[in-house]
Chains A and B, each alone.
Chain A
């Protein structure tokens, strides 16, 4: 019964946050937009007006599902992966590099290998942080962030230097052969079959966490690492594994963007996928299935800002501003929960003192 109340409280809290997010968007719109009616209309209805925006929204949904799921997996084991952007970038770059190096691969085989390469690259990058944590108790939150930040510069160098396409004016690598492009579902929108990949990843992760022994052990470690340790579990493994999985899923986000949308690694393509993944995961809590509605809300917000900008006079900076507010509200919601815990704790102490 108590559990049910908490669940409802949590859900209500999320709803309030989302409501606040939309309210903020509306207030900003009313302040900054000259054409208020149009802006409002296109902000709320825009994403559903044509197949192009629906497709782009669903594509952004699949990428956010990957990155949100990646963060959720880490959460579940009580570790934190702040290096999403670098893992996505490196994943995408490895996939691109492989396909540029071996253009003679068959379409399906190339896509499969590139996806594996991306997942491995992202996984290893995050896995290092997990290993550092297990070996020397290095804070994985800091190390994943710093490692990823460093790798972004390395990747930037590769994309604009040795791997750059000098016949193009864009900052990007060469373009992969058409055989490796993921088929598009609603052209000309960016939606492609990685949409199903994202859903499959959620299903696979749910299955892993709730229906396998390792998943169970991982969750136990996430709930109480010491209990798990004294219960005889190898907690070090469950520090490295969730970080690896998290990075691998980030890598999948990278390969989906490269194979499905850009067909090359464009400098900075990861922006907006990595950090928003954290926000998606914060709304989803620790439940992988909840990533789906949560990513949908975020994709909707993205597309809303984008259509409002194109159809009405919604200023460009406002899109970023709204996302920043979303981030702030969601992270402060977590803060609020923590504060509540603290208060309960203090009250309990006082009660005991009397």
Chain B
């Protein structure tokens, strides 16, 4: 029974020593600058997530142009830790703006703002709500999914050599509001626009990294007649690509140019211009014209989401007949004569 006191005897001086040492460590980092200061919070890690890399790049480019400072913090994949990290960033009280990109960030940041009401947030990919104190920039996923749906419909029509099954696939990392309310309906609307007999095979992986499960799901979907699958599953997308390669079928990429990932297999790709949005929003924030709580929604017409139709692989692997039909739909949307609501208000 004499153990605990012994340990405590050692520990208390040790703790005091640490405290004293750190206390005398001097105050470094006294800021002399008063330039606009931005923190980028990445809900995940940068490496391997093109959309977060685009956001970080966009913020940094604009900040460099206007002489603002940027600090990027990666939050890791454990969602349970994000809130604590964003709170810590806000507690610094040195950042004029905290930027992040993920539909789940607004709910986290609203909680943080309860304790730090003066902290400004800008969330790309987030949707605002009434009386919001957080600025959001939302991309029109319905329009993007609609474009990709049209393309999927054209591909499955084009591959109909006597087979009766007209099916396209959609694989999602998880079910979330934008998936259920915008992407899936938009995609469906797209291929029904080509032929109302086409069916949808929709599967959910349950996470954003399990490539082998994605591959299993995709293999099954291809076997059951799907010709092309739109994959929105983060790191798990790779599994869909390998399944398509084995089955001799096709993949649609969603939010960044994916043609080079597997030429001839990834034959269609959308893009979400996160970097462009980041640059413009940051520019407004630094100029002081970004209104608190402003919720911007932008789609194909505004040039923030699009179907990539000028990639060499697209021109090489997609039949002319398909491309010609696709061109008409794309130009209708770019010109603004065809628009879809981005509404996600809950």
**Interface of A toward B, CB cutoff 8 Å:** 7, 11, 15, 37-38, 41, 44-45, 48, 50, 52-53, 56, 156-157, 160-161, 164, 166-172, 187-190, 210, 257, 261-262, 266-269, 271-272, 287, 289-290, 293, 306-307, 309-311, 313, 316
Distance (Å) between the CB of A42 and the closest chain B CB?
8
When the two chains form their complex, are residues B115 and A310 in contact, meaning their CB atoms are under 8 A apart?
Answer: no
Q: Report how far A160 CA is from B22 CA in the complex, Å.
A: 44
Asked whether A169 lies within 8 Å of B88 as measured between CB atoms, the reply is no
- CB-CB under 8 A from B71, the residues of chain A are 313
- Tell me if A166 and B346 are in contact (CB < 8 A): no
Is chain A's interface secondary structure helix, strand, loop, or mixed overall? helix
- How far apart sit A267 and B116, CA to CA, in the bound complex (Å)? 27
Complex-state Cα separation, A156 to B88, whole angstroms: 28
Further pairs besides A160-B207, A268-B79: 18, Cβ < 8 Å: A11-B7, A38-B28, A44-B21, A52-B91, A156-B206, A160-B206, A166-B177, A171-B174, A188-B91, A257-B80, A261-B80, A287-B3, A309-B74, A310-B85, A310-B89, A311-B29, A313-B71, A316-B74
- Kindly identify which residue among A44, A161, A172 contacts B79, using a CB–CB cutoff of 8 Å: A172
The segment out of B102-110, B135-143, B189-197, B323-331 that lies at the interface is B102-110
CA distance A257 to B91 in the complex (A): 22
> Is B80 a contact partner of A169 (Cβ separation < 8 A)?
no
Contact pick for B177, options A160, A167, A306, CB 8 Å: A167
Q: Is B175 an interface residue (CB 8 A)?
A: yes
Asked if residues B4 and A44 are in contact (CB atoms below 8 Å), the reply is no
Task: Closest A residue to B24 by CB, please name it.
Answer: A45
A-B contact pairs, 15 of them (CB 8 A): A37-B28, A44-B21, A44-B22, A45-B22, A156-B207, A166-B180, A167-B346, A168-B104, A168-B176, A170-B79, A171-B207, A188-B87, A188-B91, A266-B79, A306-B85
Q: B6 contacts the other chain (Cβ, under 8 Å)?
A: yes
Residue among A168, A169, A266, A306 with the highest chain B CB neighbour number at 10 A = A169
Q: Which residues of A contact B64 (CB under 8 A)?
A: none
Tell me which of B3, B102, B175 has the highest count of chain A C-beta atoms within 10 A of its own C-beta: B3
Chain B residues lying within 8 Å of A171, measured Cβ to Cβ, are: 79, 174, 207
Q: How far is the CA of A297 from the CA of B85 in the complex (A)?
A: 20
Tell whether, in the assembled complex, residue B80 and residue A311 are in contact, meaning their CB atoms are under 8 Å apart: no
Whether A306 pairs with B79 at a CB distance below 8 angstroms is no
Max count, chain B CB within 10 A of own CB: residue among A166, A188, A190: A188
- Give the interface centre of B19, B73, B92, B108 by most chain A CB atoms within 10 Å: B73
A161–B206 contact, CB under 8 A?
Answer: yes
A293 to B13, CA, bound (A): 13
Chain A nearest CB from B138 CB (Å) reads 12
Indicate if B11 sits at the interface (CB-CB under 8 A).
yes
Does B160 reach chain A (CB closer than 8 Å)?
no
Q: How large is the interface on B (under 10, 10 to 19, 20 to 34, 35 or more residues)?
A: 35 or more
CA–CA, A215 and B23, complex, Å: 43
Bound together, the chains give a CA A57 to CA B141 distance in angstroms of 40
Minimum CB–CB distance for B90 against chain A, Å: 8
- How far apart are A4's CB and chain B's nearest CB, in angstroms? 9
Tell me if A38 and B29 are in contact (CB < 8 A): yes
Tell me which residues across on chain B come within 8 A of A11, comparing CB atoms: 6-7, 10
User: Which residues does chain A contribute within 8 Å of B7, judged by CB atoms?
Assistant: 11, 290, 293
Minimal beta-carbon separation of B333 from chain A (angstroms): 26
CB atoms of A268 and B78 under 8 A apart: yes
A-B pairs with lowest CB-CB distance, top 4: A169-B104, A45-B22, A269-B80, A188-B115
Interfacial chain A residues near B8, Cβ < 8 Å: 293
How many A-B residue contacts, CB cutoff 8 Å? 114
Task: Judge if B261 is at the interface, Cβ distance under 8 Å.
Answer: no
Which of A44, A48, A52, A172 has the largest count of B CB atoms less than 10 A from its CB?
Answer: A52
**Chain B contacts of A316 at CB under 8 A?**
45, 73-74, 76
Could you tell me if B206 and A287 are in contact, using CB atoms closer than 8 angstroms?
Answer: no
Residue of B nearest to A160 (CB): B206
Residues of chain B whose beta carbon lies under 8 Å from any beta carbon of chain A = 1, 3-4, 6-8, 10-11, 18-19, 21-23, 25, 28-29, 45, 71, 73-74, 76-80, 84-85, 87-89, 91-92, 102-104, 107-108, 112, 114-116, 174-178, 180, 206-207, 346
Beta-carbon contact of A289 and B4 below 8 Å: yes
Kindly list chain B residues whose C-beta atoms are within 8 Å of the C-beta of A269. Answer: 78, 80
A59 to B92, CA, bound (A): 20
- List residues of chain B with CB within 8 A of the CB of A166: 175-177, 180
Give the docked Cα–Cα distance between A15 and B9 (Å): 13
Q: Looking across the interface, which residue of chain A has its beta carbon closest to that of B346?
A: A167
Contact of A41 among B18, B25, B87, B180 (CB under 8 A): B25
Least distance between A129 CB and chain B CB atoms (Å): 26
Residue from the set B4, B19, B116, B177 with the largest chain A CB neighbour count within 10 Å: B4
* Contact between A310 and B73, CB atoms less than 8 A apart: yes
Q: Which of A287, A306, A316 has the most CB atoms of chain B within a 10 A radius of its CB? A: A316
If the complex has contacts A37-B28, A187-B115, are A287 and B4 also in contact, measured as CB distance less than 8 A? yes
Task: Give the residues in chain A near B77, CB-CB below 8 Å.
Answer: 268
Q: Determine if B84 and A309 form an interchain contact, defined as CB atoms under 8 angstroms apart.
A: no
Task: Give CA–CA (A157, B178) in the complex, Å.
Answer: 21
CB distance from A10 to the nearest CB of B (A): 9
Distance in Å: Cβ of A344 to nearest Cβ of chain B: 23
Task: State the CA gap A316–B84 with chains docked (Å).
Answer: 15
